[in-house]
């Protein structure tokens, strides 16, 4: 079974949605109208409404020195857009905003060492950096950033034991470092059970991160082949996020992994339609989805539908880098077309 971390789009998005400090100036904890705006922004992101999310983010307002809230929130939306389109063209802008947020949050924590939320958001900045570095294949850098994130989440929980949002980052680190990084760095402990427990706690009890934690928890359950449990979460999210691509990717992945060809074909078909409506694609995700839909259709002996998907793949003219990344997909698509021809399709 193949779990593509790149498809875990928006895994930590809700972690870094923040507001300006309270009147006391001692905490970055979101409250009142600001909290409502944050939750609305989260909903926009999970509904693939990135332009609306940007507008909502500006409405939050950030008066903290260095504007860490603005930079972190802006970076989160850039990250969601890049993952949604499998397009890394905003990488420099994303990293610049993450670094600016991290620097400002470090200064905030120096002046407000008792603010657990300051540590939480600082850890979120490092968490984003770790996820991005892993996505780019820089595993050692990702490990270092992940350890920094974990340390700050731990500090947040020491200061505020009910800051359950921190468990989204802690759980993600514990689980995926055990599953992915331990293969490269065998000295790491196997903390996947702790990670699963922490992700569930965050999904059940977070103030602003429950959807992000639920997505992360469901992907981890899928990786554990606990398909029924993952599916319950995915179906609930699909009902509460307006059918955004984040949850449709999850549903498609679950049905692909458990061998439900009909459902797999249906959900990858939904993704194809949604991506085409969104436009401005580099075709990476369209090729990915069409290949999986084609394989599912072939498995159901719907050779006409399968052939249409494989031929559509070969008709794309993506950038050279995308074509190289999908080199095996192109090769296998040609092989499937030949198989279909031999069967009279």
Of 12-16, 79-83, 115-119, 197-201, the range with the lowest mean pLDDT is 12-16
Together in a domain, 212 and 277: no
Together in a domain, 189 and 322: no
Name the residue among 227, 290, 291 with its Cα closest to residue 257: 227
Q: What is the pLDDT of residues 299-330, one digit of tens each?
A: 999 999 999 999 999 999 999 999 999 999 99
Q: Domain for residue 252, yes or no?
A: no
Together in a domain, 85 and 206: yes
Q: Domain for residue 249, yes or no?
A: no
Q: Which DSSP helix (H) or strand (E) runs through 183? A: none
Q: Domain for residue 222, yes or no?
A: yes
The pLDDT of residue 280 is: 83
Q: What is the pTM assigned to this prediction? A: 0.88
Q: Which residues contact 233 (CB under 8 A, 6 or more apart)?
A: 203, 214, 217, 218, 221
What's the pLDDT band for 102 if we cut at 50, 70, 90?
A: very high
CA angle in degrees (0–180, nearest 5) for 139-145-150: 120
Together in a domain, 113 and 227: yes
Whole-angstrom CA distances from 96 to 18, 69, 206 are: 18, 14, 28
Boundary-marking domain end, from 212, 243, 274: 243
Do 132 and 95 form a contact (C-beta atoms < 8 A)?
Answer: yes
Name the residue among 300, 310, 312 with its Cα closest to residue 341: 310
Together in a domain, 237 and 275: no
Q: What is the pLDDT of residues 58-89, one digit of tens each?
A: 887 767 788 888 888 889 999 998 988 888 88
Boundary-marking domain end, from 243, 274, 292: 243
Q: Which residues contact 284 (CB under 8 A, 6 or more apart)?
A: 85, 86, 87, 318, 322, 325, 326
CATH number of the domain bearing residue 229: 1.25.40.10
Together in a domain, 95 and 225: yes
Together in a domain, 208 and 281: no
Q: Domain for residue 199, yes or no?
A: yes
Q: How many residues does the chain have?
A: 345
Together in a domain, 283 and 198: no
Together in a domain, 299 and 155: no
| Dist CA 63 CA 228 (whole Å) | 45
Together in a domain, 283 and 229: no
Together in a domain, 186 and 305: no
Q: Domain for residue 144, yes or no?
A: yes
Instruction: Please tell me whether residue 56 adopts helix, strand or coil conformation.
Output: helix
The pLDDT of residue 25 is: 53
Q: Domain for residue 255, yes or no?
A: no
Total domain count, the chain: 2
What's the pLDDT band for 148 if we cut at 50, 70, 90?
A: very high
Q: What is the pLDDT of residues 211-248, one digit of tens each?
A: 999 999 999 999 999 999 999 999 999 988 877 999 99
Q: Domain residues for 70? A: 5-243
Q: Domain for residue 202, yes or no?
A: yes
Alpha-carbon 345 to chain mean position = 38
Together in a domain, 222 and 277: no
Average pLDDT, the chain: 89
């Amino acid at each position: 079974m193949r779990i593509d971390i790149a498809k875990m789009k928006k895994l930590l998005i809700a972690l870094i949605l923040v507001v300006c400090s309270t009147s006391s100036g001692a905490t970055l904890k979101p409250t009142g109208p600001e909290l409502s705006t944050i939750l609305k922004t989260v909903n926009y992101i999970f509904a693939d409404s990135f332009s609306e999310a940007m507008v909502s983010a500006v409405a939050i307002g950030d008066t903290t020195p260095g504007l860490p809230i603005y930079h972190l929130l802006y970076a989160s939306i850039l990250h969601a857009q890049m993952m949604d389109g499998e397009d890394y063209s905003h990488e420099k802008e994303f990293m610049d905003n993450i670094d600016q947020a991290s620097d400002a949050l470090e200064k905030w924590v120096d002046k407000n060492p008792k603010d657990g939320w300051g540590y939480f958001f600082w850890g979120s900045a490092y968490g984003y950096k770790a996820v991005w570095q892993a996505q780019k294949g820089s595993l050692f850098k990702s490990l270092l950033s992940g350890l920094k994130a974990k340390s700050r989440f731990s500090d947040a929980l020491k200061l505020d034991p009910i800051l359950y949002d921190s468990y989204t980052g802690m759980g993600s680190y514990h689980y995926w470092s055990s599953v992915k990084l331990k293969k490269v760095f065998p000295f790491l402990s196997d903390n996947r059970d702790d990670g699963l427990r922490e992700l569930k706690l965050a999904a059940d009890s977070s103030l602003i991160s429950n959807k992000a934690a639920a997505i992360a928890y469901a992907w981890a359950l899928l990786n554990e082949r606990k398909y029924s449990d993952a599916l319950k979460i995915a179906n609930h999210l699909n009902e509460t996020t307006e059918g955004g691509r984040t949850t449709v990717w999850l549903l498609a992945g679950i049905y692909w992994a458990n061998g439900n060809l009909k459902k797999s074909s249906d959900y990858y078909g939904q993704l194809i339609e949604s991506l085409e409506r969104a436009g401005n694609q580099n075709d990476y995700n369209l090729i990915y989805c069409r290949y999986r839909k084609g394989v599912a259709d072939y498995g159901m002996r719907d050779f006409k539908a399968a052939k249409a998907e494989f031929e559509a793949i070969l008709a794309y003219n993506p950038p050279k880098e995308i074509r190289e990344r999908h080199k095996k997909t192109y090769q296998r698509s040609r092989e499937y077309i030949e198989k279909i021809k031999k069967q009279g399709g």
